[in-house]
Amino acid sequence: MREQLKALRDVEVRAADELRKAYDALDETLDPVQQARFRVFEQAVERRQIELLMKARERAGEPARQAPAAIR
């Protein structure tokens, strides 16, 4: 079990590092205004995904859960 948890932790660390590198590469190509617009767009897409998931759950008969405060 410990080995599996360590492997999971390693995957999470690598994924976070790859994501940071991808953002760094993206930021190198965008100017500051484009970076800000992209970040706002990302948040809007994430918010919309959560709304759609909540609607799908309601239609499936699951009670809707409140979205985390950081997303609302």
pLDDT single digits (tens) 52-66: 999 999 998 866 566
What tokens does 41 get? 């767009």
Distance, in Å, from the CA atom of 26 to the CA atom of 28, rounded to the nearest integer, reads 5
Q: Is residue 72 predicted with pLDDT exceeding 60?
A: no
Whole-prediction pTM:
0.63
**What is the per-residue pLDDT across 22-39, written as a single tens digit (0 to 9) for each?**
999 999 999 999 999 999
- pLDDT band of residue 7 (cuts 50, 70, 90) is very high
Judging by beta carbons within 10 Å of its beta carbon (0-12, 13-18, 19+), is residue 38 exposed, middle or buried? middle
Going from N- to C-terminal start, the domains of the chain cover 1-30, 31-72
What tokens does 10 get? 């390693």
Max Cα distance, the chain (Å): 46
How far, CA to CA in Å, does 34 sit from each of 18, 26, 30, 44? Answer: 21, 10, 6, 15
pLDDT at 70: 61
Average pLDDT in the 15-28 region? 96
